Structure 1
């Protein structure tokens, strides 16, 4: 047996499901009709983003809840150009995101910046000239 190379759902532990849902809806993302007061599901390209109360998520996983802070995890949204990075970051900030790192050329040869959602989850917006994207906007890694 082996584990398939895919992520089905990314769940973010949030302080307030309704307010976090409103933020992601301002980004233009639509919650699914299967969402409930306690959890929001948003269909992404190939995955689902779930927003679930932070305390409830910790309970569900059977772990102690730590205070919010850098978790060692970032989410990435790749785009096809540096101007696309600038536009996405500007749009996210206009929707209530906090600018963490302004878009800039980076050491690995691309262009990226970071914003945080209302709960501090970090999103990198990047143009990586070494990771081509297919017609659906999915990153395609070389073999």
Structure 2
């Protein structure tokens, strides 16, 4: 397998609400897509939003489940102030800040939020991370 992540698909409860959050709040560039799914291009990786029931059915799994999903998505920014600003912005759009921005034990600054469907995002300033 080539070392590449092509697509991240999140199973969402309300496609219109999730699309608004990712497009309007986070400012992700939305691609033209059919009404049953939303795609955002993130460089060479795409983010897809698809109704949870459809994603579960496609995988042959039950759609029920909640709580910590065992992974997080991460967005790195250029400064601690940008961490705090993004956490404030997502909270204004209905996300829950689960850990406010704070210094980390690895020399950075980070916080966490969950989007309206409960997906966990880390917002971090890592002075040693090359891709911001």
After TM superposition, the score normalised by the length of structure 1 is 0.85
Partners of 2:69 and 2:47 in 1: CA distance: 17
* 2:2 counterpart residue number: 4
- Give ranges in structure 2 of 5+ residues lacking alignment: none
Larger mean CA deviation between 98-107 and 58-67 belongs to: 58-67
Shift of 1:12: 0.4
DSSP 3-state at the match of 2:88? helix
Partner of 1:31: 30
Flag as ranges the 4+ runs of structure 1 deviating above 6 A.
Answer: none
The count of aligned residue pairs is 131
Query: What residue number does 1:115 align with?
Result: 113
**Which residue matches 2:14?**
16
TM-score by length of 2: 0.91
| Kept in 2: contact 1:99–1:116 (CA 8 A) | yes
Counterpart contact for 1:18–1:37, Cα < 8 Å: no
Question: CA RMSD for the aligned pairs?
Answer: 1.3
**Separation of aligned partners in 1, 2:44 and 2:56:** 25
